[in-house]
């Protein structure tokens, strides 16, 4: 039923890149801590960097649990489900790292997301994941669902924010700079977007 893979390539890579949504799961080291599970969408915001490395864009929101957990322990699982075509579920278990706006790697990493305007979504980090285990399972119980289009609401909400107003928004939220369990989250104040990665002046 299930199969393990040594790398992300061929049909496995094609399947992952064709999905319109995936899920991320992280947790703190504290056994009583809050496990986080998040859906990720927006076409063009996920990229396969190489056979063992993937990355996705982490946009503005009211929490930063994934960032906090990765800063503490690095553990992360990504999951894709087939909602059309043959049934399939793919999981990538690995180690993740949030790359922030002031990181020297930012501009090069953004080159993997040519269709995304980071200023329109309040981009705050790029999550880079190195795969340690890659598996698929049958997915027989996953229902058929159709994709219509990406919701425009996130861009319409955050496109009006400047670097300063976005920082102020984050400062007001309880679980951006620190997680629900009190772990360090998104470093603030928010550095400005590098000019090479935004179309807005």
What's the pLDDT score for residue 118?
A: 86
User: What is this structure's pTM?
Assistant: 0.94
Tens of pLDDT, residues 37-84: 999 999 999 999 999 999 999 999 999 999 999 999 999 999 999 999
Residue 86 has pLDDT above 70, yes or no: yes
Confidence class for position 199, pLDDT limits 50, 70, 90: very low
* Rounded CA separation 194/182 (Å): 29
Residue 200 has pLDDT above 50, yes or no: no
3-state SS, one letter per residue, for 155-169: HHHHCCCCHHHHHHH
Tens of pLDDT, residues 109-139: 999 999 999 889 999 999 999 999 999 999 9
């Amino acid at each position: 039923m299930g199969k393990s893979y040594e790398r992300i390539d061929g049909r496995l890579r094609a399947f992952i890149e064709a999905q319109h949504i995936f899920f991320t799961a992280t947790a703190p080291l504290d056994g009583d801590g809050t496990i986080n599970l998040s859906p990720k969408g927006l076409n063009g915001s996920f990229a396969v960097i190489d056979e063992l490395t993937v990355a996705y864009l982490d946009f503005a929101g009211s929490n930063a649990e994934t960032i906090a957990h990765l800063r503490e322990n690095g553990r992360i699982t990504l999951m894709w489900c087939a909602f059309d075509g043959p049934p399939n579920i793919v999981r990538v278990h690995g180690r993740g790292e949030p790359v922030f706006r002031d990181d020297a790697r930012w501009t090069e990493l953004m080159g993997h997301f040519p269709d995304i305007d980071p200023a329109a979504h309040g981009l705050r980090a790029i999550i880079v994941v190195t795969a340690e285990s890659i598996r698929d399972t049958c997915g027989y119980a996953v229902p058929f669902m159709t994709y219509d289009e990406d919701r425009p609401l996130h861009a319409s909400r955050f496109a009006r924010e400047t670097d300063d107003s976005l920082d102020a928004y984050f400062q007001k939220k309880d679980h951006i700079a620190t997680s629900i369990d009190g772990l360090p989250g998104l470093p603030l104040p928010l550095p400005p977007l590098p000019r090479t990665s935004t179309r807005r002046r």
